[in-house]
Structure 1
Amino acid sequence: MNATVEQLAPVEQQASTSWVVAALYQFKEVNDVANLQQRLLDLVKTINLCGTLIIASEGINGTVAGDRNAIHTIQQFLLNEGFNDMEYKESFSEDKPFRKMKIKLKKEIVTLGVEVKPRNLVGHYLNPKEWNELIAQDDVILIDTRNDYEYKAGTFKNAVDPKTESFREFPEYVKTQLAEHKNKKIAMFCTGGIRCEKSTSLLLQEGFEEVYHLKGGVLKYLEETPAEESLWEGECFVFDGRTTVKHGMEEGSNIKCHACGWPLNESEAKLTSYEHGVSCMYCIEQTSDKQKESFRMRQSQIVAAKRKRL
């Protein structure tokens, strides 16, 4: 039986905050990606929705935000298209988390760059409680499959940082640093679960024997796990205007450097190296004075545009 919107959406209703933020994905064969893109474009013109959806022949992935009616409408559309087994999570934002709505066509819904079969070959799914039990074991290698700037904002205790700048670099990390551990227990996690669908598939394809991943990713873990039982340290980077979230899916305290994209904690944001929209401690030495002046000009234009809308 196909899932219903009521089965996908959380029981609780929208809080007093204005924006429902829905993160979703599903690996499912899409025969005519251009047609699906066009029909989604037509739909979003009629509803108050922002964010990004990525469509590929292997499925759909993205995060969107809107009022409850808009979220309900996009859910129902996708259900009618056969996306009835979506990994779906909701949170809330007081401010508009994306500037506009984008629907992109790509070769992969999350770019690994290596052909894998996550619908047919995937690691063992673990819920948050099972996950805590596994990663507490001494014989488990715990790997954060996210990017370096995401790791910096927060991660699980004792997690390995592959130091990747993009997910496309992960196969090389597996080849050069993990290959000798094929007989070990490997546990992997990412923000919402989609990167681990592909990374566990990749490891099994490469001959690894025991591969596990956190179902629903860090977002589901933070939603369901009480802080006193949590093995998570720090906050979780998210790809929207909130920058990070913490336990209970509340907005975190980190802010984003809009020059380089790295998350900054409160003390880092107080350093003289931080200038909003221009630089931070991680990028101030990486850009020229001319580039910084260009960033200042861009920032002043953004501020002026915001004032004009008010």
Structure 2
Amino acid sequence: MVINISCYKFVTLADREDLRADLAVRCQSLGLMGTILLAPEGINVFLAGTRMAIDTIVATLRADPRFADLQPKESLSAEPPFRKMRVRLKKEIITMKHPLIRPEEGRAPSVSAVTLKQWLDRGSDDAGRPVVMLDTRNDYEVAAGTFENAVDYGIGIFSEFPPLLADHRDNYAGKTVVSFCTGGIRCEKAAIHMKAIGIEHVYQLEGGILKYFEEVGGAHYRGDCFVFDEREVLSADLQPATGRVHR
């Protein structure tokens, strides 16, 4: 059985070239497949391999103080969902084209999967405000599945999100907005941006849809979750879904 992990961390990386070389050698020696993205703003990891190989690379990453608190999300598959191993340098680990957003300088508040389910069960947050689920993913991802009554803007790329959000900002007055995405990275950036433009009650779904599936299953969610590997979509039990969604 293959162990698949994903995780990210927003943190300044000034030594990306050296880090890329070191991680490439380590991952290759462990027989891992997948992608690690390194940008000035942080790291984004998608890897697949044996239990021993995954545990070894996670321990290696956490030995670096910058990545000590990485919390990978896991799923299983019969075969590796990647064909090669790549460690790549990028301008952003998730492209939003808003360089002034620096998540490491302060995260937006987050809500756990368990608490979010409680809010959705009763239709309001702990303060009694209506809860709006805001999907920050691209249109083809949303097509695979999303939360009930979620708002999405039909975007093709994440950099389209900020101007569309600005056009609809007034819709969120007096409500609690929970941004969500696959694994947490886009909804974290989105939530910080929402706070920056004056939306008052904002949370990010901690760990994204995959963490929600892991902790509470598919409650209040309809369909599957698109993932960026050869599995394409996962069901709420984190198994590859039978249907396939093509970009």
With structure 1 as the length reference, what TM-score do the two structures score?
A: 0.73
2:49 & 2:217 partners in 1: Cα distance? 27
Does the 8 Å contact 1:26/1:87 carry over to 2? Answer: no
- Letter of the structure 2 residue corresponding to residue 68 of structure 1: R
1:113 aligns with 2:102: no
Does the 8 Å contact 2:144/2:224 carry over to 1? Answer: yes
Does the 8 Å contact 2:28/2:85 carry over to 1? Answer: no
Residues 1:76 and 1:47: Cα distance change in structure 2 (over 3 Å): same
Report the secondary structure of 1:199's partner residue.
Answer: helix
Does the 8 Å contact 2:144/2:245 carry over to 1? Answer: no
Corresponding residue for residue 34 of structure 1 = 17
Which residue of 224, 229, 243 corresponds with 1:240? 229
Please list every run of at least 4 consecutive aligned residues from structure 1 whose deviation after the TM superposition is greater than 3 angstroms: 179-184
Which residue of 207, 216, 224 corresponds with 1:225? 216
Does the 8 Å contact 2:24/2:87 carry over to 1? Answer: yes
Q: How does 1:54-133 map to 2 (within 5 A)?
A: 54-82=37-65, 83-115=67-99, 116-133=101-118
Corresponding residue for residue 169 of structure 1 = 160
Report the secondary structure of 2:146's partner residue.
Answer: strand
Report the secondary structure of 2:237's partner residue.
Answer: helix
Corresponding residue for residue 253 of structure 1 = 242
Q: CA deviation at 1:224?
A: 1.3
Which of the pair has the greater relative contact order for Cα pairs under 8 Å at 6+ separation?
2
Q: CA deviation at 1:243?
A: 1.1
Does the 8 Å contact 1:183/1:208 carry over to 2? Answer: no
Percent identity for Structure 1 against Structure 2? 37
2:81 & 2:31 partners in 1: Cα distance? 13
Corresponding residue for residue 134 of structure 2 = 143
1:147 & 1:161 partners in 2: Cα distance? 9
Residues 1:62 and 1:182: Cα distance change in structure 2 (over 3 Å): farther
Report the secondary structure of 2:150's partner residue.
Answer: coil
Residues 1:226 and 1:107: Cα distance change in structure 2 (over 3 Å): closer
Q: How does 1:16-55 map to 2 (within 5 A)?
A: 17=1, 19-55=2-38
With structure 2 as the length reference, what TM-score do the two structures score?
A: 0.91
- Letter of the structure 2 residue corresponding to residue 205 of structure 1: A
Aligned alpha-carbon RMSD (Å): 1.6
- Letter of the structure 2 residue corresponding to residue 134 of structure 1: W
Does the 8 Å contact 1:225/1:247 carry over to 2? Answer: no
1:41 & 1:223 partners in 2: Cα distance? 29
Gaps of 5+ in 2: none
Q: CA deviation at 1:182?
A: 4.8
